[in-house]
Structure 1
Amino acid sequence: MAQVILTFFVAYGIVVGGALCGGIGAFLTHKPPLLSMELLADQLKIFGIVGALGGSFDSFLQIEKILIGNFSPVVKQLAMIVVAFLGAHIGTICVQWLVQVRS
């Protein structure tokens, strides 16, 4: 359970932290920071997932064990992928809520 919580918040932190730091960079370069934060949060979602999983290839190598008949690692790894996706997606939603850019 501790690993699930850690994975969620690492993905969340990569998206939110990257968007906030990118917003500061946009402000310093005289670009609209709120719009930049929203775009960055959307672009950082995949990096949040991969970063939280600790590398993409290790996660998918576990799926190979299904051929051997060992389902437990496969189920655990699929759960971790889903949790990492949720963390990154909720991070993106929080940044969008924070900036509330109107199109």
Structure 2
Amino acid sequence: MAQVILTFFVAYGIVVGGALSGGVGAFLTEKPPLLSMAQLADQLKIWGLVGALGGTFDSFLQIEKILMGNLTPVFKQLVMIVVAFLGAHIGTICVHWLVQVRS
């Protein structure tokens, strides 16, 4: 359970932190920071997912376990993928709410 919570907040933090930092960078370069933050949140969603999963996703090992009939690790990995996606997606929603931009 602890790993699930950690995965969620790592994905969330990558999206929100990256968008906020990018907004500061946009401000310093005299570009519209709120629009930049919204665009960055959308672009960072996949990186939030990848960063949260880190080295825990070994697809070849999972395929081997499916062929051997052991589905428990595969189910756990799918849960981690869904949780990481939810963290990144909710992070994107929070940034859009913060800057009041809808996509």
Q: Determine whether 1:33 maps to 2:37.
A: no
1:61 matched to which residue of 2?
Answer: 60
Percent sequence identity is 79
Alignment length, in residue pairs?
102
C-alpha change, 1:96 and 1:62, in structure 2 (3 Å) is farther
TM-score normalised over the length of structure 1: 0.93
Q: Which residues in structure 2 correspond to 1:1-103 (within 5 Å)?
A: 1-55=1-55, 58-64=57-63, 65-101=65-101
Unaligned runs of 5+ in 2: none
1:48 positional shift: 0.2
Unaligned runs of 5+ in 1: none
Please give the alpha-carbon distance, in whole angstroms, between the structure 1 residues aligned to 2:102 and 2:91: 19
Can you list the C-alpha shifts for 1:45-74, whole angstroms capped at 9, x where unaligned? 000000000148x34234311111111100
Bigger CA drift: 27-36 or 65-74?
Answer: 65-74
Superposition misfits of 4+ residues, deviation over 6 angstroms:
none
Please give the alpha-carbon distance, in whole angstroms, between the structure 2 residues aligned to 1:78 and 1:13: 21
1:10, 1:51 within 8 Å by CA — same for their partners in 2? yes
Please give the alpha-carbon distance, in whole angstroms, between the structure 2 residues aligned to 1:68 and 1:102: 46
